[in-house]
Amino acid sequence: MKEKIRQLAKEKNAIILAHNYEPPEIQDIADLCGDSLELSIKASKTKADVIVFCGVHFMAETASILSPEKTILLPNTDAGCPMADMVDPVALTAKKQALGDIPVVTYVNSSAAVKAVSDICCTSANVIKVVNSIDADEILMTPDKNLAKYAAANTYKKVHLWDGYCPFHNILSAKDINKAKKDHPKALFIAHPECPPEVLALADSIQSTSGMIKFAGQSDHKSFILGTETGLLYPISKAYPDKKFYPASEKMYCQDMKKITLENLASSLENLTGEIKVPEDIRKDALGAVQKMINL
């Protein structure tokens, strides 16, 4: 199956992207693995005609925003993001107006339509820089309330929250972390900023998924507790086989990130099915919000 996929990718002049949470066999077959935005940016700079995004719907949309001339495929179109679904453009526009038309900072984990009515996007890695770059005393952040609280703790601005969250990061508790630290007393705890504030307060470092991989490589420590989706255990262990990595909780398992199979991938490449294309009127406005962040 893997040989078939590589041959199809060559025939179609396709690049295969895999998010850090995807199953091991998907990451192994991919040309690039990483965070969603970095993957879309890197793919946009290649000469590939087809981008196959092994991730969830909003990630494929971001690839379409940045590479409108390429064919973007999502091998399983049922792979969605519960947090991205917690905000829609109509409700966001109404909320922004109700708050006096203040700037909207939108996490890249959102639909293209939501990005299109936002002022600027952010990632979990650059959120503090983005928030502090805005020339306003108040902002609205969407959709992740935990990421917004993290940003609010690192800025003088008033940050209005949207009541959205990642179900798998939000479920992590201080009790879970204290147990993990008791089980692995020598391990450093790295947390994703989508976790609740009481969890971040216990972290030795707060990082995005790619940031966690980089941090573990630069640290002298030999063991780490990862406060993020369990899929990251595979690429980080593969990158540093001499170090030990433990999940903060086995509860942090995203089924949507595990929906794409090798069979899905082969079928999508062979038949060019699962195409994701953002309409041009939405794409242009969404690109504006994404490009502002990239420029920053």
Domain containing 197 equals 172-251
**Residue where a domain stops, chosen among 149, 165, 181:** 165
Q: Hey, which bits of the chain come out as E strands?
A: 14-19, 32-34, 50-54, 71-73, 104-107, 120-122, 138-142, 158-161, 188-191, 205-206, 223-227, 244-247
pLDDT at 36: 87
Between CA 12 and CA 187 the distance in angstroms is: 45
The string of pLDDT tens digits covering residues 223-255 is 999 999 999 999 999 999 999 999 999 999 999
The string of pLDDT tens digits covering residues 74-105 is 999 999 999 999 999 999 999 999 999 999 99
**What is the mean predicted confidence (pLDDT) over 267-285?**
97
Q: What is the CATH number of the domain that holds 116?
A: 3.40.50.10800
The string of pLDDT tens digits covering residues 42-66 is 999 999 999 999 999 999 999 999 9
**Average pLDDT over all residues of the chain:** 96
Q: Same structural domain for residues 100 and 76? A: no
On the question of a cis peptide bond just before residue 167, with omega within 30 degrees of 0, the verdict is no
The string of pLDDT tens digits covering residues 143-182 is 999 999 999 999 999 999 999 999 999 999 999 999 999 9
Number of domains in the chain: 3
- 12 pLDDT tier (thresholds 50, 70, 90): very high
* Domain-embedded: residue 216: yes
User: Which pairs count as long-range contacts for 280-285, CB under 8 Å and 24+ apart, including other chains?
Assistant: 280/68, 282/112, 282/113, 282/116, 283/64, 283/65, 283/68, 283/112, 283/116, 285/115, 285/116, 285/117
Q: Same structural domain for residues 133 and 201? A: no
Between CA 162 and CA 158 the distance in angstroms is: 13
pLDDT at 56: 97
* Domain-embedded: residue 295: no
